[in-house]
Structure 1
């Protein structure tokens, strides 16, 4: 499949990093200590975002390099579900409280609008494409911001129903039986919903199982087996399945066969996510802090990929070889790391983490405590996760 200006692949992006303070914060300090971040999840997000960048890079050479095609199929089977499960898990305490609702607007909604416009302008100025954008039709990788907004809004509902995961699976499988159109990329929103709800349903002890020493070799073996299966399936399976965005009819199967296949896709994704998490480093490393800012890489790396497309770099012969593929993989790691490093974060936080206190009414203080802590002030947590 050749690379197009709007590739059909999709990636999940990690949610935004921990903000220094909530929008509308008055600067009053809380007396209780701040909860320590778990480096395990930051490590997982860091390595997962490298897979996102790598997937977009090798997408352009997979038609000529069998290894790249198999690796692309393998990565797309689980890197998007991985982010969604982690996002759901770290969304367990999300409510409609004032501070958290404002963060949802400023850290998800506003960046969605900002980068929808930015990508449209970039495609027009650098790529010569027609200038157009629609907030109802997310551009390429922007679908995840839209999905995250809708999933987060639905969180309190899933926390109230008795069998949330089973209900989410039913919604997911039924959604592919009809063509729901492209508004809000709704097939992905509903199709991947079970993975978000799974994350909401998980508890810390579930991840402790994956941190046991015996889990690491088992997880490595599962990942190796998954890559081997991808080699077998690369010429036998349509890549459209791993994009999670097409109804069964467009995938060329009936509802019964499609339901079986999509169920198998969900199960495979969960197994590969668990295997990946089992090999993730547990302790804090130099890259752990970068895991809190992977949204920067997600939203910014698309400009790099597009620029190489517009300038014709993907047509270079050396890229369409096995050594060229390994160079692309290494380059993806460098680019992915650089885009979530401190200098980029400090330069771009106005767009990805705007405070926008001017846009909201002041947070009310508890009665009788003129100097006290604002009511409903959220605890410091990884936005998009916590």
Structure 2
């Protein structure tokens, strides 16, 4: 009776550990982006991160969606995501207008502000899965891949409501939801894990040598094929190739992730706060002009270390206590059960 519970706990610990490592990659990638055109090392690290971090982040999100997708809890999560999007889209716009004095600034809820595309896409991923719960997992995955490939052909701006990213990364959400647990159970240990970790590091070295000749736009997933300069009828094949690269790089990176419950696991439970708040810090850093003083690639490890420090700080329980009313508001007042009683809200990051 106790063995399944132990396995489930270890499995969730692995995903929490992975989630915090990925949010550190998100911070590091965003912090490195202002200097990738100046230093080859920063560009290599940036591209390496983008070969796996967002597909895996979506995969992890799909895995945890298993707990809060259906019924009233699923509806509450959708409401919370919508509120988070509306609130932080407004806050970032206000910051641009009042602090950074961004020219021609106007608030639009149809063009997600930087990292907020993930909220818009997450909302859509959950809706799409709720609509296809009666399907067999394999059919759901095949349709998701087909949509991800076909989205690049549409003659529209891929940034609009995160349309392109929603469909490009949809297969990873489906894989996380339907196959996340089984994939985790099949991960190797011992020599297999060491080899995978070595190959992951080798991929970084290969990119650093300049052998990676792929536009970052393919990894961002936010652009159509035409926007990427490919008007060929077979451009969708390139998307399948990118999927193969992301799956391979992501699988190799998993070798770095510990399985045991630890301090890392605890930090992984509060990555929502890191995700939503770190954009303010990155924007302030760029606005302050601190990047103008970075004149050598020796600062790259410093930037990554600061990103790690910010992630640990923003995942601290004190930050959650201070910002929880803003980030995870109690929506029980607007929801009632069939007996007329109030419902408790469900957090999409448990």
2:286 is equivalent to residue 322 of structure 1: no
2:328 is equivalent to residue 353 of structure 1: yes
Counterpart CA distance in 1 for 2:142 and 2:234 is: 20
Residue 40 of structure 2 aligns with which residue?
66
Residue 88 of structure 2 aligns with which residue?
115
Instruction: Classify 1:50/1:234 alpha carbon distance in 2 versus 1 (closer, same or farther; 3 Å).
Output: farther
Contact 1:158–1:197 under 8 Å retained in 2: no
* Corresponding residue to 1:176 among 152, 164, 174: 152
Contact 2:17–2:265 under 8 Å retained in 1: yes
Counterpart CA distance in 1 for 2:317 and 2:67 is: 28
- For structure 2, the 5+ residue unaligned runs are none
Counterpart CA distance in 1 for 2:210 and 2:245 is: 14
Q: Equivalences for 1:288-307 in 2 at 5 Å?
A: 288-307=265-284
Residue 384 of structure 1 aligns with which residue?
348
SS for the counterpart of 1:112 is helix
* Corresponding residue to 1:245 among 211, 222, 230: 222
Alpha-carbon shift at residue 331 of structure 1 (Å) = 0.7
Larger deviation: 172-181 or 86-95? 86-95
Q: Aligned pair count?
A: 340
Residues 90-128 of structure 1: per-residue CA shift (max 9 Å, x gap): 22354441233113212x111111100000011111101
Instruction: Classify 1:375/1:310 alpha carbon distance in 2 versus 1 (closer, same or farther; 3 Å).
Output: closer
Instruction: Classify 1:289/1:229 alpha carbon distance in 2 versus 1 (closer, same or farther; 3 Å).
Output: same
2:49 is equivalent to residue 75 of structure 1: yes
Q: Equivalences for 1:1-386 in 2 at 5 Å?
A: 36=9, 38-106=12-80, 108-129=81-102, 130-162=104-136, 163-181=139-157, 182-233=159-210, 236-316=213-293, 319-360=294-335, 362-365=336-339, 383-384=347-348
Contact 2:76–2:331 under 8 Å retained in 1: no
Alpha-carbon shift at residue 65 of structure 1 (Å) = 1.4
SS for the counterpart of 1:161 is coil
Counterpart CA distance in 2 for 1:177 and 1:61 is: 31
Alpha-carbon shift at residue 183 of structure 1 (Å) = 2.4
Q: If the length of structure 1 is used for normalisation, what is the TM-score?
A: 0.82
- For structure 1, the 5+ residue unaligned runs are 1-32, 367-373
Residues 299-332 of structure 1: per-residue CA shift (max 9 Å, x gap): 111101111111211111xx24121111111111
Counterpart CA distance in 2 for 1:345 and 1:127 is: 26
Instruction: Classify 1:115/1:376 alpha carbon distance in 2 versus 1 (closer, same or farther; 3 Å).
Output: closer
Residues 340-385 of structure 1: per-residue CA shift (max 9 Å, x gap): 111111111111110122222x22349xxxxxxx79989x8xx436
Counterpart CA distance in 2 for 1:323 and 1:266 is: 33
Counterpart CA distance in 2 for 1:230 and 1:170 is: 29
Contact 1:168–1:197 under 8 Å retained in 2: yes
Alpha-carbon shift at residue 204 of structure 1 (Å) = 2.4
SS for the counterpart of 2:318 is helix
SS for the counterpart of 1:268 is helix
Alpha-carbon shift at residue 241 of structure 1 (Å) = 1.4
- Structure with the largest fraction of helix: 2
| Superposition RMSD in Å | 2.5
SS for the counterpart of 1:358 is helix
Instruction: Classify 1:308/1:385 alpha carbon distance in 2 versus 1 (closer, same or farther; 3 Å).
Output: closer
Instruction: Classify 1:375/1:112 alpha carbon distance in 2 versus 1 (closer, same or farther; 3 Å).
Output: closer
Q: If the length of structure 2 is used for normalisation, what is the TM-score?
A: 0.90
SS for the counterpart of 1:60 is helix
